[in-house]
């Protein structure tokens, strides 16, 4: 097994996952869309998620064509864009979050176009200054990521990559070669909010990805209930939940969304 940690990418992610491993607990990664329905609500959600037990916050960057996301997160992106949210605005939310929560890692999840339009080097510098810890960019393949990845690395930000059931043994080394922080394993083919894969298959996949990368593996896509979070938490280093929280926020408001997130966090943490 080889590790891909480097000095530059020892962000808040490393001590967070190290502490979870020491406690033999699965982590909980909670997703929220920046600007849905406005910046103040997103900030309140982020603060509440951290207080309810989220070990990592995945902050969505709204985009007009979110190809990996299902209807729930697509609608959230549309609401955020309609409200005027921009990538610069996303970084502003992160900066405000850091005024009250210094330790919870924040990973930005988005698509190449906003990062490219901002300018990779400028974005990486501004994201680091705001207090972000890393980026998940869904639609830049490893063969084309050098410029963006180098900018992130130069500013101490992790570049988190996704692996999927379709990532075979030949492809996997390319996917994890320059990944840092953790690997996001997509438990099923399809978009966010889709059905989750069989736990036995996920267990084998997590072991394979962990062995190839030397990194923690977080599993998401289709995890909606505490019961499912507990099942995934038995085999993964962290459980990722997005669509269920986003939908609860849209339908029932902040308090109910945070209540759901708290139950999901408790389930992941107590899975083992």
Report residue 162: phi and psi, to 5°: -105, 140
Verify whether residue 69 is a known catalytic residue.
yes
Verify whether residue 103 is a known catalytic residue.
no
Catalytic hit among 55, 69, 231, 248: 69
Coil vs helix vs strand at 69: coil
Tokens 């490393």 — which residue?
Answer: 14
C-alpha dist (Å) from residue 60 to 17, 23, 90, 198, 202:
21, 29, 8, 26, 24
CA pair distance 89, 80, nearest whole angstrom: 11
CA pair distance 18, 238, nearest whole angstrom: 12
Tokens 């007009």 — which residue?
Answer: 64
Helix (H) or strand (E) holding 229: helix 226-233
- Note whether 215 and 182 are within 8 A (CB): yes
Please name which of 257, 213, 270 lies closest in space to residue 31, comparing C-alpha atoms.
Answer: 257
Catalytic hit among 36, 55, 58, 126: 58
Q: Which residues are catalytic?
A: 58, 69
């Amino acid at each position: 097994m080889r590790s891909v940690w480097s000095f530059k990418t020892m962000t808040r992610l490393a001590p967070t996952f190290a502490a979870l491993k020491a406690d033999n607990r699965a982590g909980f990664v909670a997703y929220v869309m920046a600007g849905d329905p406005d910046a103040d609500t997103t900030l309140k959600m982020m603060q509440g998620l951290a207080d309810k037990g989220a070990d990592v916050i995945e902050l969505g960057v709204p985009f007009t064509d979110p190809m990996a996301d299902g209807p729930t997160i697509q609608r959230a992106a549309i609401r955020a864009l309609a409200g005027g949210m921009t990538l610069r605005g996303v970084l502003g939310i992160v900066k405000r979050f850091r005024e009250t929560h210094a330790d919870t890692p924040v990973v930005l999840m988005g698509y190449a176009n906003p990062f490219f339009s901002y300018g990779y080097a400028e974005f990486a510098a501004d994201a680091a200054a705001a207090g972000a810890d890393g980026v998940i960019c869904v639609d830049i393949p490893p063969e084309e990521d050098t410029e963006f990845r180098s900018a992130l690395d130069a500013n101490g930000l992790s570049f988190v990559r996704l692996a999927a059931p379709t990532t075979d043994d030949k492809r996997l080394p390319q996917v994890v070669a320059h990944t840092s922080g953790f690997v996001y394993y997509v438990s099923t083919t399809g978009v966010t909010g889709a059905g989750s894969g069989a736990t036995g298959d996920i267990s084998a996949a997590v072991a394979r990805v962990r062995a190839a990368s030397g990194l923690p593996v977080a599993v998401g896509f289709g995890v909606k209930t505490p019961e499912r979070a507990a099942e995934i938490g038995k085999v993964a280093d962290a459980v990722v939940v997005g669509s269920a929280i986003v939908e609860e926020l849209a339908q029932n408001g902040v308090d109910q969304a945070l209540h759901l997130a708290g139950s999901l966090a408790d389930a992941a943490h107590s899975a083992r």
